[in-house]
Structures are given as structure tokens and as C-alpha cells.
């Protein structure tokens, strides 16, 4: 009996230690673990084509805008981790030549934006770009499409769930940031909870996910799709890896899908794959 009591006390100490460590990690270290900022590279500065500072109150929020000043449609690209706004537009920049306004913003601590990366800071910068497109460029909310890649699926989903937009595109999205690793909720915090917010998204939804994604499991994109409301469409990119979706799908086909979605949303006869 004494041995059993001793064992139970040891197990209780281990459980308490795990809970404490989980709380410390979840509340104190989560930003360090979650974010991997891409700092301004050589040749990337305020003189870069399309650069604009949309910050307020002396806080720089670096954005880039390509295409016509008053186009008919605008695409907000929410970039992934370990990249900046300039690098995330490599497969989308050509759409500016077709008359679309293509815009992106650096999260806090990324690229040329001030601050340190946080979940709320990402939301703030993306909302600021949305407001700037509406107030300064004169876009109607229904003519703004939001596209979030990887960790960018978090701020993209949050924006579409809280602001009127014409459509939401998610590329390699997750259920929430920690669940990429834990699969289920284990921490006291759950940053970028797409699985909860997706139900509040009322605009057309397009999700793309590679079957060979080596960063965010393919089944998380599928699960998020199942939680979403209609109208929606899922593009399964055969043998597609995390950072190579446009290449795996074919860059022309990738852009055609996005243009079709921007112009028509999800409808009967939407381009199938």
C-alpha cells in the first residue's frame, strides 16, 4: 500500500509538472515557437516597387501594392512563416498585369514592419491593409478577396470572419497553429483557431492543399473544409508539397483558379480538378 501511495504521488508530481510546463510554454514562449520572422533582405526597402507605409501613429506597417490604383478587384495575400510580403507574391504578381490589384502586408517584426510578431499584431496589420484598400483606394468590401497561405490562413480566416469580403482562399491551412504539431488542443492557448472561426465565414471559400504537405498535414485542410459553410470548393493538389503548391498545380492553372474564383466565386461548373 505504501508503495502504491508513493507511486501515485510521483505520478501526481509529473502531471502537475506537465501542466505547469504547458502553461509556461503556452503563455510565455508561444510567440517564439510559432513565429519565424523573415527580416528585410538586400534590395528590399522603401524604394521597392509598390512599397507603401500604411502605418498609423508612427508605427510602420509595410505593405506592397501592385496593379491599378482603382482596379475592379483586389487580392490581399497573407504570407506564410519565414517569408515576407515581397517573397509571397512570386506566383501572384502577374495578376496585376491582368488588371487586378494585388496587395500584401508584413506582419509585425517581419520585413520592414515595426514591432515583434504576435497573433494580435498579425490581425492588426492585415485589418489595416483591408481598411487602407477601402478608404484610400476606394474598393468595395465585396470586391476584396483574401488569400492566406500556411500561418497566413490564420489572419486571413479571422479577417473574413469579422469583415465583409468577396471571398476567402486558404492555401495549406491548419486547424490552429499548435495543432499542426499536437493534432489536438493540449495548451492553455490556441493561437489562430481557424477551426472555430471558419463557421463565421459567410463568403465563398476555396481551399487548396497538397497531398504531400510536409509541414501542415493534408487532413487538416480537409477537416477545415468540412467545418466550413457552403459555397465552398476543395482543390486537392496531387503530390503537392507545402511551399510548392503553385508549381505542383502548375503556375498557369493556379492563377486561372484564383482569377476564376475572384470573378465568379463558387458556382455550379466551377473549375474542377
Q: CA 208, CA 231: separation in Å to the nearest integer?
A: 15
Does 3 map to a domain? no
pLDDT at 247: 96
What is the per-residue pLDDT for 86?
Answer: 92
Q: Tell me the C-alpha distance between 9 and 204, whole Å.
A: 54
Per-residue pLDDT at 33 = 79
What single DSSP character describes residue 74? E
**27 lies in a domain?**
no
Closest CA to 68 of 103, 37, 34: 103
Residue 28, domain member (yes or no) = no
- pLDDT at 17 (0 to 100): 36
CATH of the domain at 138: 3.40.50.1820
Determine, yes or no, domain membership for 54.
yes
Whether 272 is in a domain gets the answer no
C-alpha cell at 29: 514562449
**Number of folded domains that form the chain:** 1
Residues present in the chain in total: 273
Q: Is the distance from CB of 155 to CB of 177 less than 8 angstroms?
A: no
Which residue in the block uniquely carries the three cell numbers 496587395? 103
10-residue mean pLDDT profile of the chain (273 residues): values are 57 44 53 80 82 94 93 94 93 94 97 95 98 96 98 98 98 94 71 97 98 96 98 96 95 97 80 50
Domain range holding 107?
A: 35-264
Q: Is residue 2 part of a domain?
A: no
In a domain, 98, yes or no: yes
11 domain residue, yes or no: no
Closest CA to 145 of 213, 108, 95: 95
Amino acid at each position: 500500500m505504501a508503495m502504491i501511495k508513493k507511486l501515485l504521488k510521483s505520478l501526481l508530481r509529473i502531471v502537475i509538472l506537465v501542466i505547469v510546463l504547458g502553461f509556461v510554454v503556452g503563455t510565455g514562449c508561444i510567440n517564439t515557437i510559432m513565429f519565424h520572422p523573415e527580416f528585410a533582405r538586400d534590395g528590399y526597402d522603401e524604394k521597392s516597387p509598390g512599397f507603401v507605409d500604411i502605418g498609423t501613429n508612427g508605427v510602420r506597417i509595410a505593405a506592397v501594392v501592385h496593379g491599378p490604383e482603382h482596379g475592379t478587384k483586389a487580392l490581399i495575400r497573407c504570407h506564410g512563416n519565414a517569408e515576407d510580403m515581397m517573397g509571397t507574391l512570386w506566383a501572384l504578381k502577374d495578376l496585376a498585369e491582368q488588371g487586378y490589384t494585388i496587395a500584401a502586408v508584413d506582419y509585425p517584426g517581419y520585413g520592414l514592419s515595426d514591432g515583434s510578431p504576435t497573433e494580435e499584431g498579425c490581425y492588426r496589420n492585415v485589418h489595416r491593409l483591408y481598411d487602407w484598400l477601402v478608404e484610400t483606394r476606394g474598393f468595395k468590401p465585396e470586391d476584396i478577396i483574401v488569400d492566406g497561405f500556411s500561418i497566413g490562413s490564420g489572419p486571413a480566416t479571422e479577417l473574413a470572419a469579422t469583415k465583409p469580403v468577396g471571398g476567402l482562399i486558404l492555401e495549406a491551412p491548419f486547424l490552429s497553429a499548435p495543432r499542426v504539431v499536437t493534432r489536438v488542443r493540449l495548451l492553455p492557448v490556441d493561437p489562430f483557431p481557424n477551426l472555430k472561426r471558419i463557421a463565421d465565414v459567410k463568403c465563398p471559400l476555396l481551399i487548396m492543399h497538397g497531398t504531400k504537405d510536409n509541414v501542415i498535414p493534408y487532413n487538416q485542410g480537409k477537416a477545415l473544409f468540412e467545418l466550413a459553410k457552403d459555397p465552398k470548393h476543395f482543390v486537392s493538389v496531387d503530390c503537392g508539397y507545402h511551399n510548392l503548391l503553385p508549381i505542383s498545380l502548375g503556375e498557369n492553372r493556379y492563377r486561372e483558379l484564383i482569377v476564376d474564383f475572384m470573378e465568379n466565386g463558387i458556382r455550379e461548373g466551377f473549375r474542377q480538378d
